[in-house]
Structure 1
Amino acid sequence: MSAPVGNLPATLTSFVGRRREVAEIRRLLTVGRLVTLTGTGGVGKTRLALAAGEACAKAFPDGVWLVDLAPVRDPATVAATAASVLRAPDRRSAPDLDRLAEHLARQRALLVLDNCEHVVDESAELAKALLTACPDLRVLVTSRETLAVTGEHVFTVPPMPVADEAVDLLCDRATALRPDFRLTDANRAEAARLCALLDGLPLAIELAASRLRTLSVTQLAHRLADRFALLTGGCRTTHPRQRTLLGMIEWSYELCAPEERTLWNRLSVFTGGFTLDAAEEVCSGDGLPAHHVVDLLDRLVSRSVVLTTQAEGPPRYRLLETIREYGRLRLTETGEHPRTLRRHRDFYLDRAEHLAARWFGPGQQDALAWLRAEHADLVTALECPAADDDGEGALRLAVALRHHWCADGFLTEGHRQLDRLLAQHPRPTPVRVGALWCAAWVALLRGDLNRAQELLDTAEQAGADDPFVTGLRGSLAAFRGDMREAAVHYDEALAAHRRDGDGPQALFWLFQKSVVQVHLGDPAALATSTRAVELAEEHGEHLYRSYALWALGFARWAHGDEEGGLVHTRAALEILRGFNDYAGTVMSLEIFAWITAARGEHERAAVLLGAVRALSRATGVCAAYAFGGLHARCEASIVAALGDAGYEKALAQGLDHDTPARAIALALDDVPAAVTGPAAVDPLTRREREVAALVAEGLTNRQVAGALGLSPRTADTHVAKILAKLGFVCRAQVAAWWTENRTSA
């Protein structure tokens, strides 16, 4: 048997994971002649290129040839380096590029140009010239920056999935150095946390594995605060910059122009992802004009310093933690860190207050989606060291985020932040009064009534004359079952809003007043709740329109209109599909369960009460909001019909529906489709599977909407839910999942 043609080096370590990536690169090499692997330093581009080259070697009878350009310092020698590696005949009268092209002209070969980022222009020239002159040649490139050559197919190498491949790599490399190393139930979760802290970067994981000769997984994870000092070593035969994580990142930094480095440094203040407008607001100034940011950001993306996040809506960007930490170190060295942090805080404060001021109207779903996407940076902004405002900025931000805390499943975080900030800033100011009633609202929803009263008392002692303090007094009374006192406070709050001309905000007290009126037997409850629905519709309100609808459903049911009660409560749940509101979902489900039980569907009602209990446990929402007696009465009717054991059994069926989306799907019969075989763990509903099938065919959200007769917003919501349920970040992953899990009808 003849020796294989080419010069691919024999591997000294096993190749872990990356099967899909190798398959995709092989596919790209069949449809295009130039494929470039990009990605941040240490992500494994070279190793992946070698694995792909080895996997498709049989398709290239004239060999797979690796040309490592990392040692090249003079860009003019790129062609000469390649000619030398491929053993092109040395004809002194011919330029290196010409003799290389002549050598490869009739060969069916794969040329792997490795580490091109520092000689990217010369590499692009070489690739273009060779592909033009050599029709059977394929070129596979690794670079932190694309070549920008016509016909180039770009594959961005992602970090390793933490839960499986990254942990497998850590275990494989650690075992090679320490044969007695084992992953156990006790340390597996810690190993996954370690790999997550290392961003799933193979280089960082391999360097970390070398430390497991002397440290446990837990010790190593705890010491990662100084990762650049800790992660050193590696193989002595590798390039010097690859022996330390710091060396790898510094290599990328040195390749950047001064303005690119400045932007990299300043972007490090973002904790999570960010948008272009955020980068322009936060990172501009002091020598970096705002209009330069878009071009510089594009360059950092092309250099694989900044990653793009594929999602619906405007593009989002992010830095891997290792890249971010390095930028923060450099930002601190420049003395700009405090100033940039303040700009970061001011950006999020301005945006949050803008959303809060326009809350009672259209755009709530978009506002909450933005707040969810920016949650990590909002927390960072809240914890920004006090600047010139003596902490007022952080308090203002915490208040502006009130709907994020109370209507989007972040009650615990809201409680933590508000209590922390109120303790740090005791000076009585109007801003602090706002924070007090906001914290009281959070406490009410968490069922901490004593804390809510304490906060409201403190607000009044500070001389607060705020309708929200008065109205929340009513909510507190209702929670305690004193409906007459609650009604008085609600009327006072509504009168104050009328004086101030704050029409839409009255909605917040109207629906609560109608609930109290039902308990008091006041026939005006129907008119009050109807007015709440009308007010919501007048202002294009969505979230509290759902509250008004379940309040109207409650009133109709209480007045003997069982069908009307069911229709309005169901309509409330339909609206709540677009939110992540635990409190609203709990209230709606409570009423829905009572009506279901009253219709004789006792087992189903018990399952729904199980979901109510699960939601209450998950977030601390007080499920008994003025419903204590009715809740107990509903339970008694179910027990009478099913018996204690039957009730507990049905109740248990609802306990795993511990998110608003799952609980609403249960109530509205939108349960996951029954499937068999590999797709038995399919979490999607039937409608979501229909949407996923069309996404897999390459249809846009708007095309999906047209095909299924949906509104564009509904299609957007379905796709977002599919991504969330499957843990994916892009539509391509949905397509791949659908292909693997598709079942016959």
Structure 2
Amino acid sequence: MTADAACMTCGNPLTEAVAGRRYCSNACRQRAYRERTSARDDSSGDSGVPTPLDTFVGRREELASLARLGAEHRLVSLVGPAGAGKTRLAVQHVDKRADQVWWTALASASGVVQAIYHAVGAHPLPNRSVRDAVIAEIEQHRRPLLVLDNCEHLLADVADVVSEFLACCPRLRVLVTSREPLRLAGEQVFALGELELPPADCDVAEALRYDAVVLFRDRAVSVDRSFEVDSANVADVVAVCRSLDGMPLAIELAARRITVLSPADILARLGDRLALLTGGPRAADDRHRTLRAAIGWSYDLLSPAEQAASRRLAVLGVPFDLGVASAVCGVPDALELLTGLEQKSLLVVERVGGHTTFRQLESVRLYCYERAVECGDASLVADRVVEWVCSVVEPEISSFFPSPPVVLRLDRNVGLIELAVTRTAETADWSRHALAAVATAWTSTPRGPRGAPAELLHQALSRPMPQASRSALTVLAAMHHRVRGGWHVTRRFAEESLAIERADACRPGTTARALEVLASAEAHIGDPALAWRLFDEAATLLHNSDDKLARAILLNSYGWTLLQHGEADQAAPLIREALTLTRLLGLPHLLNPVLHTAGAIALARKDCAEAVDLFRESLSVGSEHPMDQFYDLEGLALGLVGVGSDDERALSLLTAASVVRARYDFRAEPYWQALLDEARAICRDRITAGRLRAAESTGERMSLAQAISYALTAQPPAEDDGLISARERHVATLVAEGLTNRQIGQRLGISPHTVARHVTHARSKLGLRSRAQLAVWAGRHTL
């Protein structure tokens, strides 16, 4: 027995005669029993659990999961971002317990032990510490639960106290609410995210099956009894909930604005949500009265490095990966920074196709962006993005074709490339502006087809730059005009690129590229014999190269050009080799152009059934880049006409492809155009007038994605198959062109607020998080 052992009731020292006991006498033991019984009887009245005045909405699955965890584990940490409803869920959880519960609110506390001491109603013990008094009180209960609410600002102290109490009190269970876990052994982390969100295009009945919409309705009715979710406002209510990421606090604050704003008005103002979402209940904690305060509480608890990272990542406005984050934050490896921010519920992790990206909830991003502007981080981030883009592009600038991993990396960061283009133009950094323009040409851009717009290429070429960059840009400009039938301009740019390459004489890859583009131009408007010599020279340059992709692309171009000059038999072995090389690469989407040429050769040989199979395969493997597939729609239609199996579907596919060609000024080569014209004539002869118009109408109203689905499934799209309305699709297209809301409004004759509504509706229906993502979607799908 230690010298300081004392009776748990009276505090008198225990003698050797009662060693190993907790009480000095039967009287003290009986007194302790009476106190425990009284404590259990009064537990519902002195627990300190808050009594909410509003209704609790949803979270049925979360409550059930939390109950299971609480029953199986002694320490559970309920974590989530600002405004996720952690405290409210904890209240609902403990309300269903019959055991002793102590609620300890730590938001305004400075000392953890003292706050727990008062919460449990402990009594001072002679010659014993406050911790000992708390432990003594806890030990009087059979299965006590201690709730520590809002621990994020006292994590180290809470972790120390909790670990001690759990060790000393084997019957104790602890529930912690915080924006990050304690990181203790045995801790079970329960991550609380957004409320369940409805699909964007649901009706009233379906919308009201989702917690987010029910919460909005409940809180709106609490301030305006006449409010109801109906067919006139359901789309706006759903869009508001989706735009607010399903966060309960933000939804509640938005709903309270219903006294002066309609759901449509609230939606239109969410761009300035930090100013809009204020005015929480007066009795609420200050942190929960405005969205800005809720997020600011989390931001203020970050370390200086984490605050800087949050600000700088907010400038990006698009999802990012670890490499981008490291570059933007100015550190060799941002893993620890991102891990810390994710644990503090300030980042969302997403994994798609084995690739991990991060994003900030939009409300968090807007708050951090405000801080970035105050701290002057916007320019710093833009410069670092420029450095990142150039570091990806520059090693590939002398290649025949950029490696697929580089293209994929740039495709995933189209928004960053746009930022780099803008920044280098603002700072007149023309050398790096050229590299940013090259990056744009290598990717799928918000403007739709792969490749940079002509204006960007021509403007960049008017500026001073290194010769290697100029050669890359001129050949890209030549390729841009080639797909639009501008053969004379194509030849001029290709000749300039080839002249630079011949003068340098040390870059076989880019020399072969210039030769290939010039050869295709010569074949159409110059000397075909010269074209074959240029193709052969390019093939010789690549013969000893390990770049199988470059050789496959060259052989496909050579074979396609031969085919157009009636040399199908000479083209066939080249395409067979190109197919073999491309399949060996294991990159299915790169098969698309080679399969197309193989299908065209089959058509030339009158083997229409084989052509149909090849074009179907091309459509299937090319889904990663659907913008490249309008040619395959035409090829499949030609095969169907040749087989004579489905003229109406063939005509619909031809019409859908022609819409894409007209929109982007993609002009078919004379050889291919003649085949298309002949197929249309055959269809018009074989289809009755009524069915003819119906087939053309089907093709006109289909998006490219719908046309590809129709080609592969033979199921035409329903009238209401589009996710977004025609006006929303039109607005999205203008967003992709880089217009502001005011400029779009002026063009369409509507107000900027109405434009903002269309933008937000379209984003919500498509599940997109930002305006930049909507622009990317419009470029890829609104065709």
* Same fold flag (TM > 0.5): yes
Q: Does 1:80 align with 2:114?
A: yes
Match of 1:33 in 2: 74
Aligned-pair CA distance for 1:183? 5.0
Deviation digits for residues 702-737 of structure 1 (CA, Å, limit 9, x no counterpart): xxxxxxxxxxxxxxxxxxxxxxx99799xxxxxxxx
Q: State the match for 1:412 in structure 2.
A: 448
1:317 aligned onto 2:358: yes
- Partner of 2:188, secondary structure, is strand
Q: Cα–Cα, structure 1 residues 311 and 140, in superposed 2: closer, same or farther, change >3 Å?
A: farther
Q: 1:602 aligns with which of 615, 639, 646?
A: 646
Question: Are 2:187 and 1:156 aligned?
Answer: no
Which of 593, 596, 602 does residue 547 from structure 1 map onto?
Answer: 593
CA distance in 1, matches of 2:80, 2:552: 51
Does residue 375 of structure 1 match 2:375? no
Query: What's the offset of the Cα at 1:72?
Result: 0.5
Shift of 1:347: 0.5
Partner of 2:98: 61
Inter-CA distance 385–198: structure 2 relative to 1 (3 Å threshold): farther
- Rounded to whole Å, the distance in 2 between the matches of 1:444 and 1:158 is 50
1:437 and 1:189 map into 2 onto residues whose CA distance is: 47
CA contact (8 A) 2:490 2:521 kept: no
Conservation of the 8 A alpha-carbon contact between 2:608 and 2:639: yes
User: Aligned ranges for residues 138-149 of structure 1 at < 5 Å?
Assistant: 138-149=173-184
Is contact 2:478–2:494 with CA below 8 Å preserved after alignment?
no
The answer to whether residue 663 in structure 2 is matched with residue 628 in structure 1 is no
The aligned residue for residue 402 of structure 1 is: 441
Preserved contact between residue 147 and residue 175 of structure 2 (Cα < 8 Å):
yes
Structure-2 change in CA distance of 1:449 and 1:188 (3 Å) = farther
Contact between 1:602 and 1:638, CA under 8 Å: does it hold in 2? no
1:268–1:627 CA distance, 2 compared to 1 (3 A): same
CA contact (8 A) 2:515 2:538 kept: no
Structure 1 residue 250 corresponds to structure 2 residue 283: no
1:266 aligns with 2:321: no
Mapped contact 1:415–1:443 kept (Cα < 8 A): no
Match of 1:49 in 2: 90
Structure 2 counterpart of 1:708: none
1:110-189, aligned counterparts within 5 Å?
110-161=145-196, 163=198, 165-181=211-227, 188-189=234-235
Correspondence 1:281 to 2:327: yes
Contact kept in structure 2, 1:487 and 1:516, CA below 8 Å:
no
Deviation at 1:147, TM superposition (A): 0.8
Q: Secondary structure at the match of 2:349?
A: strand
Is the 2:328–2:385 contact (alpha carbons within 8 Å) kept by the matching residues of 1?
Answer: yes
* Paired residue type of 1:294: L
Two-structure CA RMSD over aligned residues (Å): 4.5
| Alpha-carbon distance between aligned partners in 1 of 2:458 and 2:644, rounded to the nearest angstrom | 49
Are the structure 2 counterparts of residues 296 and 528 from structure 1 closer, same or farther at C-alpha, using a change threshold of 3 Å? closer
Displacement of 1:151 in angstroms is 1.8
Q: 1:558 aligns with which of 604, 607, 619?
A: 604
Superposed displacement of residue 61, structure 1: 1.8
Worse-matched range after superposition: 628-637 or 265-274: 628-637
Distance, in Å, in 2 between the alignment partners of 1:489 and 1:177 is 80
Alignment of 1:454-469 (within 5 A): none
Deviations 1:347-406 (A, max 9, x none): 123224556766848x63x5554334323333333333646553443442232232422x
Asked if structure 1 preserves the Cα contact closer than 8 Å seen for 2:393 and 2:438, the reply is no
Cα 1:462–1:111 change in 2 (3 A) is same
Quick check: 2:488–2:525 contact (8 Å CA) kept in 1?
Answer: no
**Residues 483 and 519, structure 1, Cα contact 8 Å, conserved in 2:** no
Listed one character per residue, the Cα deviations across residues 633-653 of structure 1 (whole Å, up to 9, x for unaligned) are 334545655545456667778
Tell me by how many angstroms 1:187 deviates: 5.0
More contact order relative to length (CA 8 Å, sep ≥ 6): 2
**Matched residues in 2 for 1:218 and 1:439: separation?**
44
Shift of 1:17: 3.8
Separation in 1, partners of 2:85, 2:457: 44
1:71 Cα deviation from its structure 2 partner: 1.3
Report deviation, 1:324.
2.8
Structure 2 vs 1, CA of residues 283 and 95 (structure 1 numbering), >3 Å: closer, same or farther? same
Structure 1 pair 9–206 and aligned structure 2 pair: CA distance change class (3 A): same
Normalised TM-score (structure 2)? 0.70
Match of 2:625 in 1: 580
Corresponding residue of 1:717: none
Q: Verify the 8 A CA contact 1:639 1:646 in the aligned structure 2.
A: no
Displacement of 1:203 in angstroms is 2.4
- 1:383-532 maps to which residues of 2 (within 5 A)? 383-384=422-423, 386=425, 389-405=428-444, 410-412=446-448, 419=455, 422=458, 426-427=462-463, 431=469, 434-435=472-473, 438=476, 441=479, 491=532, 494=535, 497-498=538-539, 501=542, 505=550, 507-508=552-553, 510-522=555-567, 523-532=569-578
Contact 1:46 1:142 in 2 (8 A): yes
> How far did 1:614 drift?
4.5
Cα distance, 1:559–1:424 mapped onto 2, change above 3 Å: closer
Give the whole-Å Cα distance in 1 for the aligned partners of 2:144 and 2:700. Answer: 60
Counterpart in 1 of 2:731?
none
Contact persistence 2:417–2:439 (CA under 8 A):
no
> Relative to 1, partners in 2 of residues 1:205 and 1:398: Cα closer, same or farther, differing over 3 Å?
farther
2:637 touches 2:650 (CA, 8 Å); kept in 1? yes
Give, in whole Å, the separation in 1 of the partners of 2:226 and 2:490: 57
CA distance in 2, matches of 1:79, 1:109: 17
Q: CA shift at 1:40, angstroms?
A: 1.9
Structure 2 equivalent of residue 203 of structure 1: 249
Distance (whole Å) between structure 1 residues aligned to residue 618 and residue 262 of structure 2: 52
> Would you say the 8 A contact 2:75–2:186 is kept in 1?
yes
Relative distance call for 1:22 and 1:607 in structure 2 (3 A) is farther
Label 1:666 to 1:278 Cα distance change in 2 as closer, same or farther (>3 A). Answer: same
SS at match of 1:627: helix
Helix, strand or coil: the match of 1:412?
coil
Change (3 A) 1:463 1:529: closer
Question: Contact 1:402/1:438 (CA < 8 Å) preserved in 2?
Answer: yes
1:115 CA drift (Å): 0.2
Give distance in 2, aligned partners of 1:614 and 1:295: 49
d(CA) in 1 for partners of 2:87 and 2:107? 11
Task: Give 1:146 deviation, angstroms.
Answer: 0.5
Change in Cα spacing, 1:413 to 1:566, as seen in structure 2 (3 Å) is: closer
Q: Which residue of 2 aligns with 1:296?
A: 337
Q: Percent of aligned positions with the same letter in both sequences? A: 28
What amino acid is aligned across from residue 599 of structure 1 in structure 2? V
- What is the CA distance between 1:555 and its match in structure 2? 0.9
**What residue ranges of structure 1 are gaps of 5+ in the alignment?**
673-680, 684-724, 730-745
Question: How far 1:439 moved relative to its partner?
Answer: 5.7
CA contact (8 A) 2:592 2:622 kept: yes
Could you tell me whether the CA contact under 8 Å between 1:38 and 1:142 is conserved in 2?
yes
CA distance in structure 2 between the partners assigned to 1:543 and 1:314 by the alignment? 18
State the structure with more CA Rg. Answer: 2
Matched residue type, 1:71: S
